[in-house]
Structures are given as structure tokens and as C-alpha cells.
Amino acid sequence: MNLNDPATQVEEGLDSEISSIRREIRKLQRRRRFLSSSILSSTSLQKRFSRPNQAPELSLSNLNEDISPIVRAAGSHAQSNHHRIAFSTTTFPFKDPSPILNNETDGSKNLLGARIDICVRNGRFTKPYYLLLQKLRADGYNHGNVRVKVHRHTIPAFIPVDRLEHVFLPGTLSRVGAGDGGGTEEAQPPIKGKQGRTQKQDLRGFIREVRRQLVAWHMRLDAVHYLHDQIGVIRRGVDAYPDEEEDGPWERDIPIDTDHDSGVGEIRLKRNEFGIIMLSPTALEASYIRVEFEDGQVGRFKISNSGLVERAVVIGDKGRDKVLEAALTGGDKKVLSVLSRLKGALVGMDSNPSSLASE
Amino acid sequence: MPRQKSIRAPTTASLPNNLRIPSTTPSLVKALGKLSRQSLLDLVFQWLDDRNVKFFPPFLESDEADTESPDDEGLRPYPAERTLNDVRNAYQELQFRKGGKREVIDRILDGDWRHGITLRQLAMVDIRYLDDHPSSFRWTALELTRIGVSHDTSHTDISACMPRVHASTFLTTLQHQISPLVKAHFYLSRSSTLPLTFLRIFVTHSPYQNPRQAPETLTDSARVMYVAFPDSCPYIYTSLAPTTAATGAKPSAASAVATDARGLQRIVRDAVPKALSLPHQRYTLKTTSLTAKSLQALLTLRGSGRSNKAAGTFSIFAGAVIEGSPLDPRPSNTVSPEEHHKQSKPHSNNDLDSEKENKSSNAEKETDSSTTPQNPKLRRRDNFGLDPRAAKKRKMAVNTRFGTSGTSLSSAPLDRLDARLLDSPNPPPLSDADEDTSAGDGSRPTLSLTFSGTDVIAGIRKLAELGIVNAERMPAWMTGEEAVSVTVVKKGRVVRDSG
């Protein structure tokens, strides 16, 4: 096929035009749907429809009949959204479609779903995390309390749901022994108050702890993103590279979510006053951050769940650099202020004449 | 020729990276020939990179003077280049020219690395092959668990859960563990496409380095095993030797003497958890009944993401396709799952691949049952598919049962699913909810089902869509909900300990 043939060129031009128009149409359709559902769920409209008698111009019966299910759906959706935004953890019912009944549970296929919504730094919400809980069969020994166990969940693997379940929802992991062992335990008088406490399930505490760890993880990722923004980031293929920095290692962008490809593209730090050429979490859970400096020193620090730098090590050819380590862990210890502390340390070093020899 | 001048005393150190395999070894051609021409050239450029070239020095003219007599100069098809840049240019030229990969291999072996390919180069070749062909091995997922942690864990160390691998420390400890038994070469490398770190271990049968070892043994692929460490999760994946894949569960009786390749691999596998252990924090490996060819499937079902404990029906939660962010004003039933999925994922994978997979796996289903010709649940209902309303209902049922698994949205292709049914096949498993009907017939035949294909779950889903499998009544393990590849099923439910 001759690419220079004018007819082919015209054809290709038309093809690309058609596809771009189609894309535009799809975009506009999506936009229309978005806007229409926004209008439907808006407060003023909802109010009007909730009092049909006071809106006589819309109370034409057939119109109202047609429109009301949509409006009602939009209203309930908006309400559940408000709950999700406000309370972060919400519950919902779910029915397991599996036809096989489970002996350990109470025989119903109804599950209790808990949904955890977390707002991250860019103002968006992550994909919700879910816990699906199954009610255990009501035996005599649990005094009529409802007991649950985790049936399925979508919590990332580095948050030990199993162990949390064991601590907060006891009596679920030792399911095999529970059938016969439960009666004997009941016969014994409770020796310590502790035993009685561990026997009791704490569903709120369980979900609170799971959520706390999820939030802590997202906060750690946000902190690294924040540090990147402070230093300045060049995205491969997106930003123009300034000429003066030819070589610096490209690294994969930090994920915003558990999907390993959710970190888009490769990034590189801009040349900066801190002398940092790389700053990235060592693993997905982002509790350890690795820092590489221009002069070959390598550092690593640990972020605690409360956002403090717990420990730090900076090591170079000449051994550990205690000044930088102290800077990382010093002050208010907050990870967000690490850079300003580093800056202070570097200024201190420059003014110190003995360190000038190294430059 | 490849012998270095230094004296080799018996030692327990690992095989050095720069141990050269003579380039005349015929199996080297095969080893390099696995790669495509482009991959080979990429690797060569990597070797010749400024940072790496000291590890893999090519043969230059200056080397020629002291090693070889000038007589056979004319016999060499590739004269030694003068400088490093000349070598680079030669491969640049190959890069621009079209041609077979054979000329690249010849150039490597007879030309620039005629003094031998180092073990590290060979390891890089293998890892590159693994990256190019991610389903070239069968991988088994193993779970790392703490030993000696009693069940009443205190509240304090709940967050400490997975071992951290520090490459050099880990390799040193691993070497300490296995050095009395075998000699090995380690190569640790980060996968370029998946969130994994590969460890390639090559083992020889003696703890001593025998200088007279046949060079063939150094390229024997049966002596290579891979361990993959996925990011941030308490699992590791190991490659199975091609021979053990067939026999499956009983390699333990094979040998107590570590002479064959499999025994060597077992030694290494046993050493891995010990090397990961720390004082007061010892680990052991536990099987997780999941073996698959696709690393992506392992990452989905035993990885760090959301989908570990939510497969099958519950995959709608893992992909978060049932509802969007709370800021989305559109009611969730009006938004397609694909759109929900895309929300936080800018690059959606193309649907073409999975469609192809679906088609190919459609017919690949074999049942090796000895007692009954067909599982009652799999009974054919051809006339069912004619009614459009029934088809729609069936589609709904399939969607509820399978969620997104087996579609393009989830990527966990299992190439094999073994299920052993302990229930009597005679009364259909659904009706014996009152547990004592099966006790009546004295014999307890068991039924083993093996599904194999490119994507078993997608295949079963397709069968359900066609109405061959009843989507509403089939047991949950058929939807992949248990996320295992080997199961034992009793009363329609998966029995946990498959031993």
C-alpha cells in the first residue's frame, strides 16, 4: 500500500476524524448522564418531589409515575453517598448466591457487609474496601449474642485481617474445636476477667482497627507524595526534561492504590537543594522509605502509623552520617516536615568549615 | 582456556558470578536461543553498559595477545574488536539490520565473549526469558507463617506481619543454610513488568567447587529453580521442576539423598524460610493449594492487592465494580462495571486478549471420572438456550455467581483446577442438605474432576452462559471463589485441609 497516495491519505484523515468525533460523542454522553444524575439527586429537586402535593405543575399523574422511581433511586443513592462521606465506614446487606449451606453459620446466606471509604490526598476517594461478615450459628454457649466471622474481605494482604479477627472476634478461628470445646469452657467458672473479655466479640473495635491501619497506610503514601511534590518531580514523557540533568534513575511512580499498575509512568526527582536523587517507599505498604543522596549516601527511615519518623539510618562510604539521621528523626518527628529539617541540617553543615573539605 | 590463574581451593562460598562457562559448550547455544533476537540484543547492551561492563568484559584485541597464538586468527569468523565502543557499534549495527537471532548468538559466543559466558550472564538470560514469557513455568504459592506464635497474640505486634527481604543479608543467610549440602549460584533481580523480585538459584550437587566439573552441568536447566517474592505480602512463589508438575503431591518419598535435581531443589526450598527468619521470629512455609502457570493469577489470588480473599462471587468487591466513589452522583446500577473499574485505573487493559482466551478455553474441559459418566450438574440442557428470557435470566445468574472473575476485568487465569468430590454422586448434592441421606449407601466413591485450559474459570463461566452448567445451582468452588487450584469438596463445600 502506498502511503503517499493522496486517496489513502484522505481516507486516513477521515478515519481519524470519525474516531475523534465518536470519542467526543461518548464523552458528551457521559457528561450528560453525569449532569442529569447530579440534577436528579440535587437537594432542591429532591425536596420538590418528596412533597408531590405541593408541586402541582408536576403532579400530572403519568409524568410523576414515570419519573418517581428514578428520582427516588437518585435520592437514596445521594443519601447513601452522604453517609459514606460522613461516616467513612458504612454497612450494607449482601446475599451470598452460593446454593450450598454452611453448617457453621446460622444457615442463612445473608452477609453483613462493611464498606470503608478513605479519602486521599488528591481529594478523591479510593476504591472502597469491603469486609463481608457471616453470622455464626447461635449456640447455647454464647448467651444469645450474635457472633460473626469474616467471610470474605478485600483488605490488602499486609494488613493482618486474620490476626485482627483473632484478637477482636474470638471464637471464630478455632471453629473446629468450638463445637465440642465450647461446652466444657462454659462449664468452667470464669477464673480471670481476662478470659471473659477475650470471649466477647468486639466488632466495632475490629472494624475500627482495620480502618485505622488502612488510613495509616494511605497517609503514609500521601506523605511520600507530598514529599515528592515538595522536592519536585519530573514525569517521564509528560514533563519536558531540563537539559542540565541528564542522568538520574527513573523509578516507577508510587501507587495510589493496591493495583500495581496504578502508579502511572515513571518519575524522577528534580535537582534539589537537599541533594536527594531518589525517595521512594521500599514496598507497597510504605512503612520504610529509602532515600538516596547525590553524594552516594543512602538512607532509610521508618514511618510509624501516626506519621512520625520512628527510626532513620543514613550510611555512606565513610560510615553512618549521624547529622542527617538526627535531622530525620529530630524535631517534631513528623514525616511531613522531614525536608525542612534536612534543610536545616544541610545549612548547618555548610556553615561548618570542616565539612567544606568534602566538597 | 576459561580457567583463571588463581588457585581454586575447596570452599563453601557460593559459586562466583564471574565463573565462566566455556563458550564452546553446545548447550549454551540452546540457552541463548530461547530468547528472541531483540531480547538478546537488549541484554548485550545491558552487559556493555558503562555500569555493568566491568562484570561482563568482552573479548578485546588486547586480550588476544596473551591468551591465544596468532595462528588461528584467520579461522575466527569474528575478529576481536579494538575498543569497547567498537563492540557496541557492532551490536548497534545488528540492531538496525534485520536477520536471524543465530547471528547474534554466534557473535556472542564466537566473538565478543569467546572467553566464556559467566554464570551471571546466563542467569540474566534466564530471567529475561522469564520476563518475556511469564507463563513458562508452573508456580506454586506458599505462605510464610510464623513458628511458635501462640494464638493469644498480644495487641502490640499485630501490625508486624511479613518478612522483609534485604537482598544481600538474605542471600548470605541462604548461602549459610545450604552451603554444607550444595553449591549454588544466586541471582536476584527485579521483574520489569510485575511487582515481583525473582531469585534464580542454580544448584550443583557438591558442596565443593570442583574445577573439573563438566561445563554442561552449569547450563542444566533442571538444576535451576526460581523463587519469586511478591511485594508486601506474606507469600512466596516457587517454580516447580517440570517433572514434579506431573506427579503432583508426593515428591517427599523420592529421595533422602540429595543427588538428583529435585532433591537439590528441595534443599533450597527448605532453606528459604530459614533464611528469611530472624531471631525470635522464625518462619515456615505452608502450602496454599494454588499452582498456576500465570504469575498474574498468583498475584491476583495470593498477592498484595484486594483480591486475595474475594474471588468468584465476591470479585465484584475486589474490583470495586458495584459502586463508585461516594462523590459519584450516578446511581451505581446505571454505571457499567467497566466504568467503575476504570475510575482509579487510567490504563485499562485491552479486551482482545481475554476474549481470545475465553474462546480457546471454551471447549477445553475434560473430566476423568471413573464412576459416573457425568456430574449431574453438568448435564446438558440444550433446549434451554432457545428462550430469550431464559437466556437473560441465565446471564444475570452468571453475573451474580461469577462476579467479574473469568472476564476481562479480572486477570487470574488458572490453567488447571483439580477437585476431588467426596460426596456420593448418586443423590444430587443439592438435595442432601439434610446430612444423612448419603450415609445409606455403603460404598463411598469419590469423583475427581480436572479442568485444564488457558483459563478454567472463564471456561466454566462460558459454559454457564451457554446453559451447560446451571449457574444458580453449581457449587461455589466452580466459580473460583476459593481461589485454589487443588480442592477437596465435601457436601458441596471446600474442605480446608486438603491432606
* pLDDT, mean over chain A: 75
Q: What is the least distance, in Å, from the CA of B145 to any CA of chain A?
A: 12
For chain B, the 3-state helix, strand and coil shares in percent, each to the nearest 5, are 35, 15, 45
Which SS3 state, helix, strand or coil, does residue B355 take? helix
Whether A37 has its CB under 8 Å from any CB of chain B: the answer is yes
Beta pairing partners, B449: B419
- Of A23-37, A226-240, B338-352, minimum mean pLDDT range: B338-352
Question: Across residues A20-24, what is the average pLDDT?
Answer: 94
Q: What is the least distance, in Å, from the CA of A351 to any CA of chain B?
A: 35
Strand order in the sheet with B447-452: B447-452, B416-421, B486-490, B493-495
Whether A34 has its CB under 8 Å from any CB of chain B: the answer is yes
CA separation for the pair A302, A288 (Å, rounded): 5
- Could you say which DSSP state residue B108 is in? I
Q: With beta carbons less than 8 A apart as the criterion, state whether B392 and B386 touch.
A: no
Q: Which chain A residue is nearest to residue B497, measuring alpha carbons? A: A176
Give the pLDDT band (50/70/90) at residue B159. Answer: low
Secondary structure of chain A as H, E, C letters: CCCCCHHHHHHHHHHHHHHHHHHHHHHHHHHHHHHHHHHHCCHHHHHHHHCHHHCHHHCCHHHHHHHHHHHHHHHHHHHHHHHHHHHCEEEEEEECCCCCCCCCECCCCEEEEEEECCECCCCCECCCEEEEEEEECCCHHHCCCCCEEEEEECCCCCCCHHHHHHHHCCCCCCHHHHHHHHHHHHHCCCCCHHHHHHHCCCHHHHHHHHHHHHHHHHHHHHHHHHHHHHHCEEECCCCCCCCCCCCCCCEECCCCCCCCCCCCCEEEECCCCCCEEEEEECCCCCCEEEEEECCCCEEEEEECCCCEEEEEEEEECCEECHHHHHHHHCCCCEHHHHHHHHHHHHHHHHHCHHHHHHC
Alpha-helix runs per DSSP H in B343-416:
351-362, 388-402
So what CATH class is B312-495? alpha beta
Question: Across residues B140-156, what is the average pLDDT?
Answer: 67
pLDDT (0 to 100) of residue A327: 85
CA separation for the pair B302, B298 (Å, rounded): 5
Residue A346 has pLDDT above 90, yes or no: no
Secondary structure of B258-316 as H, E, C letters: CCCHHHHHHHHHHHHHHHHCECCECEEEEEEEEEECCHHHHHHHCCCCCCCECCHHHHH
Whether A260 has its CB under 8 Å from any CB of chain B: the answer is yes
pLDDT (0 to 100) of residue A17: 94
Q: What is the pLDDT of residues B398-416, one digit of tens each?
A: 888 888 887 777 777 888 8
Which SS3 state, helix, strand or coil, does residue B447 take? strand
Looking only at the bridges linking them, the beta strands covering B447-452 and B416-421 are: antiparallel
**Contact yes or no for B329 and A164 at CB 8 A:** no
Residue A218 has pLDDT above 50, yes or no: yes
Percent of all residues in chain A with a pLDDT value above 90, rounded to a whole number: 7
pLDDT (0 to 100) of residue A62: 52
Residue B481 has pLDDT above 50, yes or no: yes
Q: Cell match 444423612: residue?
A: B436
Q: What is the pLDDT of residues A125-175, one digit of tens each?
A: 888 899 998 887 765 555 566 788 888 888 888 888 888 888 888 875 444
| Length of chain B as a residue count | 499
Beta pairing partners, B117: B21
**Contact yes or no for B334 and A33 at CB 8 A:** yes
Q: When comparing pLDDT for A67 and B10, which is higher?
A: A67
Residues with Cβ < 8 Å from A294, sequence gap 6 or more? A275, A276, A277
pLDDT (0 to 100) of residue B9: 56
Q: What is the pLDDT of residues A37-82, one digit of tens each?
A: 888 888 777 777 666 555 455 544 555 556 677 777 888 888 888 8
Most confident region among A345-354, B68-77, B256-265 by mean pLDDT: A345-354
Give the pLDDT band (50/70/90) at residue B99. Answer: confident
CA separation for the pair B474, B377 (Å, rounded): 7
Q: What is the pLDDT of residues B31-75, one digit of tens each?
A: 888 888 888 888 888 888 887 888 888 887 777 665 555 555 556
pLDDT (0 to 100) of residue B88: 85
Give the pLDDT band (50/70/90) at residue B369. Answer: very low
Q: What is the pLDDT of residues A74-113, one digit of tens each?
A: 888 888 888 988 888 999 888 888 777 665 565 667 888 9
Q: When comparing pLDDT for B253 and B37, which is higher?
A: B37
- Of B40-44, B153-157, B353-357, minimum mean pLDDT range: B353-357
Question: Across residues B335-357, what is the average pLDDT?
Answer: 46
Whether A141 has its CB under 8 Å from any CB of chain B: the answer is no
Q: What is the least distance, in Å, from the CA of B418 to any CA of chain A?
A: 19
B148: left (phi over 0), alpha (psi -120 to 50) or beta: left
CA separation for the pair B273, B159 (Å, rounded): 20
**Contact yes or no for B327 and A98 at CB 8 A:** no
Q: For residue A311, what is its C-alpha cell?
A: 527510626
pLDDT (0 to 100) of residue B74: 55
CA separation for the pair B332, B201 (Å, rounded): 49
Percent of all residues in chain B with a pLDDT value above 90, rounded to a whole number: 0
**Contact yes or no for A283 and B308 at CB 8 A:** no
Q: What is the least distance, in Å, from the CA of A211 to any CA of chain B?
A: 13
Q: What is the pLDDT of residues A180-189, one digit of tens each?
A: 333 333 333 3
Give the pLDDT band (50/70/90) at residue B207. Answer: low
pLDDT (0 to 100) of residue A18: 94
- Could you say which DSSP state residue B59 is in? P
Residue pairs between chains A and B whose CB atoms are closer than 8 Å: 165
Residues with Cβ < 8 Å from A72, sequence gap 6 or more? A49
Give the pLDDT band (50/70/90) at residue B215. Answer: low
pLDDT (0 to 100) of residue A351: 60
Which of these, A163, A87, A91, A100, lies nearest to A133 by C-alpha position? Answer: A91
Question: Across residues A269-284, what is the average pLDDT?
Answer: 81
pLDDT (0 to 100) of residue A241: 54
Q: Above 0.85 for ipTM, yes or no? A: no
pLDDT (0 to 100) of residue B244: 41
List the domain boundaries for chain B: 23-115, 134-146+162-301, 312-495
CA separation for the pair B475, A97 (Å, rounded): 10
Beta pairing partners, B202: B185, B224
Q: With 0-12 CB in 10 A as exposed, 13-18 as middle and 19+ as buried, what is A164?
A: buried
Strand order in the sheet with A129-135: A89-95, A110-116, A129-135, A148-153
pLDDT (0 to 100) of residue A328: 86
List the domain boundaries for chain A: 89-201, 215-358
Return the ∠ at Cα B110 (arms to B106 and B116), rounded to 5°: 115
- Residue to substitute from A102, A159, A163, interface B, most B β-carbons within 10 A: A163
pLDDT (0 to 100) of residue A21: 94
Q: When comparing pLDDT for B214 and B70, which is higher?
A: B214
Which of these, A114, A100, A206, lies nearest to B313 by C-alpha position? Answer: A100
The secondary structure element, H or E, covering residue B67 is helix B61-67
Residue B476 has pLDDT above 90, yes or no: no
